Amino acid sequence: MRLDKFLCKSTHLTRADATAVIESGDVSVNGQVEMSVSTQVHENNIIILDGQRLVPRPSRYLMFNKPANTLCSNVDGDYPSVFNYLTLPDICDMHIAGRLDADTTGLLLITDDGRWSFNLFNPQYHCAKVYKVTLRNSIVDDASTEIKPAIKALFTQGMLLPGEKVPTKPAKLQLLSSNEVLLTITEGRYHQVKRMFAYVGNKVRKLHRQQVGEITLDIPEGQWRFLTEQEVASANIVSSN
Ligand code: URA
C-alpha cells in the first residue's frame, strides 16, 4: 500500500497529517528517510515515525443497513452521508464496497481493505448481488402467475443498455408478487437495476439490496455490525471461483 495510507492505518493521523510528516522527512522505511507519500510499502517493511516502529491495525469489515435518503459518500450532500451512522474510530480510513443510490436501501459493505472490496465487486468474479425490486407496472400477464416470457428472456440473455457496448450478463428474476421481484445480477454497472427495468418499459419504485455473495443482510435499518470471519473469508472464495 502507499506510504501515506500505511501511516493512516497505523496511527491516528489524517491523510493530510500523514502527508505532512512524510514530506517533512520524519518517516523512514527500512532505515532510509522516505519523503514520497506514494512510495509502495509492505507490512513487513520497518517503518519508523518519531523513533517508533509503526504496525498497521488489522483490517475492519462491516455491514450496514442503509436507510433511504442517505449518501454513499464521505461527506454530506443533499442527504446525510452513511458514515454519520458508523460510530467507530478512524472511520475515514474506510470505504464503501459497491455503492448504492441515495434512494436505494439495504446491504452496504464497508471496509478499509481495498483488495477485499475489489474481489467482491470486480465483475470478472461474478459475485451475485440480490435485490428486492418493487416496480410501477405489473411484470405478469393478466391472470398469469409467471413473469412475462419476453421480459424474462431479456434478463436471462442480457440486454444492450443505451450507451453501452457490451450486453448485461445473465440475470435471474424470481417473482414475489405481480410487481415485486428478486433480481440477482453479477455486475455493478451504473444504476444497473433501474436501467434494466427502464429498458423493458417499467420503472423501479423501491430498490433494496439484501445479499452480496454469501453475505446476507440481517440487521435493522440504520444499524451496523462487524462481519464474521466466515463472511469476510467468503469474498476470497468468490474470487477463486
Ligand atoms: N442498481 C441501481 O440502479 N441502483 C442501485 O443503487 C444499485 C443497483
Does residue 191's CB lie within 6 angstroms of at least one atom of ligand 1? Answer: yes
Give me the sheet containing 32-33, strands edge to edge.
32-33, 27-29, 47-49, 52-53
User: Nine-digit cell at 83?
Assistant: 458514515
Distance 194 CA to ligand 1 centre (A): 6
CA–CA distances in Å: residue 89 to residues 72, 93, 108, 130? 19, 9, 19, 30
Model confidence pLDDT, tens digit, residues 134-161? 999 999 988 788 999 999 999 999 999 9
Determine the atom of ligand 1 nearest the C-alpha atom of 185.
Answer: 8
Distance 211 CA to ligand 1 centre (A): 13
Asked if residue 221 lies in contact with residue 67, where contact means CB atoms within 8 angstroms, the answer is: yes
The model carries a pTM of 0.86
Non-local CB neighbours of 111 within 8 Å, separated by 6+ positions: 59, 60, 61, 62, 94, 95, 97, 117
Domains of the chain, earliest start first = 3-53 (3.10.290.10), 61-230 (3.30.2350.10)
Length of the chain: 241
Which residues are known catalytic residues? Answer: 101
173 has a pLDDT exceeding 70:
yes
Does residue 192's CB lie within 6 angstroms of at least one atom of ligand 1? Answer: yes
Distance 239 CA to ligand 1 centre (A): 22
Model confidence pLDDT, tens digit, residues 187-216? 989 999 999 999 999 999 999 999 999 999
Does residue 136's CB lie within 6 angstroms of at least one atom of ligand 1? Answer: no
